[in-house]
Amino acid sequence: MGLNQIILLQYSLFCSEPHCLVNREVKRVRSEFRDGRFQWLCLETGRWVIGCYYANETHPDAYLKIGEHGFNGLIKHVCDRYADYPGRVQYYAEVRKDVHVKHPTNKGINKNFPEPADLRIQDKVRKVYKLQQLRLGSHK
């Protein structure tokens, strides 16, 4: 058996098993992996977000499970589900409400606050859905 045939045989056996395809990389079912700010779990039904990461002063990145929050100085980091759409997970950062923050008017921009960011996965989901439609031939 030639090398190409062995590779093709291994590929066809592996592709017959349930898996997740992420950035052209195959992930096995029940494996966890990080992609951007989110921690994912590959299941037979697809991949699911199970947590979020945020940059911290003491660690390169801190991990939060869904429903948890963490503090980094004046900033509260949150990994949670949308109230109106619990199937969608979001990460966001906000100024803590339990600590008084002074904003002097003559000092410019406070660099302690994170840059505004919207790291929802909705665009990724739309892109994957459109790609699946194109592959299945159901153009609309």
Quote the CA–CA distance of 52 and 63 in Å, as a whole number: 6
Quote the CA–CA distance of 32 and 41 in Å, as a whole number: 4
**Residue 106 tokens, joined:** 């003559």
> In the 8-state DSSP scheme, what is residue 140?
-
Q: In the block, which residue shows the tokens 């299941």?
A: 43
Quote the CA–CA distance of 28 and 35 in Å, as a whole number: 15
Query: For residue 134, what pLDDT is reported?
Result: 61
| 70 Rama class: left (phi>0) / alpha (psi -120 to 50) / beta | beta
Quote the CA–CA distance of 64 and 88 in Å, as a whole number: 16
Over residues 52-90, the pLDDT tens digits come to: 999 877 778 899 999 999 988 888 999 999 888 878 899
Query: For residue 139, what pLDDT is reported?
Result: 47
Query: For residue 66, what pLDDT is reported?
Result: 94
Q: What is the pTM of this model?
A: 0.59
Strand intervals (E) in 36-127: 38-43, 46-54, 62-65, 69-72, 75-81, 89-95
Query: For residue 63, what pLDDT is reported?
Result: 93
In this structure, the number of other CB atoms found within 10 A of the CB of residue 54 comes to 22
Over residues 97-129, the pLDDT tens digits come to: 888 777 667 666 656 565 666 555 555 545 545
